[in-house]
Amino acid sequence: MTLAELDLNKTYTYADYFKWKFEDRVELIKGKLFKMSPAPNRIHQQLSGSVHGQLWSFLRGGKCQVFAAPFDVRLPRKSKEDKDIITVLQPDICVICDPAKLDDKGCIGAPDIVVEILSPGNNSKELKNKYEVYEESGVKEYWVVSPQDNTFIIYTLINGKYDASRLMVAGDVITSAILPGFSLDLTELFDDINK
């Protein structure tokens, strides 16, 4: 079966997703199939590597773990059965502090932190659809990095709704309530990609 053969109006589950062997990477958001952007560009990969590396160094030896895409994050609503899961995402980076959420397939349940790096052409999917499912599923912090304009925003879950930080830029330092003591200097982060 090819991606073109699927009925895009149908609602799919993780059981379906797990059987597919497409060349293209896809995500399921509320049962609907979304084709992921082509391979990320150099700047996207540099940002991802830098953020992942800094998180990995900070978390090393602790209970929280960091993972980079491709890594399936399944967000169950009713049950954790593959046939009932209709949202499967591959965030650029995620931090999971509850080892019970990890299995051989990836993560089942909301990560503590999700980092998405915007690529040209995927901004509406990231900012609307993923925002909604991350909020609904209980992702505590959703970090959005825009390499196009060198900005960073953190959505923090408060009483079930996201509260946005101010738009952060070079000169700002990112901290996280989830990871006390962690900091990410945006000047260094963005300087690295602009060399």
Residue 194 has pLDDT above 80, yes or no: no
DSSP string, 29-68: ETTEEEEPPSS--HHHHHHHHHHHHHHHHHHTTSS-EEEE
Please give the residue that has the higher pLDDT: either 79 or 39: 79
pTM, two decimal places: 0.88
What is the side-by-side strand order in the sheet with 32-35? 32-35, 26-29, 88-89, 73-74, 106-108, 102-103
Q: Rounded to the nearest 5 degrees, what angle is found at the Cα of 128, between the Cα atoms of 122 and 129? A: 85
Question: What pLDDT sits at residue 189?
Answer: 93
Amino acid at 48: S
Using a 10 angstrom Cβ sphere, with 0-12 exposed, 13-18 middle and 19 or more buried, the burial of residue 114 is buried
Give 125-173 pLDDT, tens digit per residue. Answer: 557 888 999 999 999 999 999 998 999 999 999 999 999 999 999 999 9
DSSP-based three-state secondary structure for 134: helix
DSSP-based three-state secondary structure for 115: strand
Domains, the chain, with CATH or none: 41-73+87-193 (3.90.1570.10)
Give 11-61 pLDDT, tens digit per residue. Answer: 888 888 878 777 677 777 888 877 766 667 888 889 999 999 999 999 999
Question: What pLDDT sits at residue 122?
Answer: 60
Give 89-125 pLDDT, tens digit per residue. Answer: 999 999 999 999 999 999 999 999 999 998 776 656 5
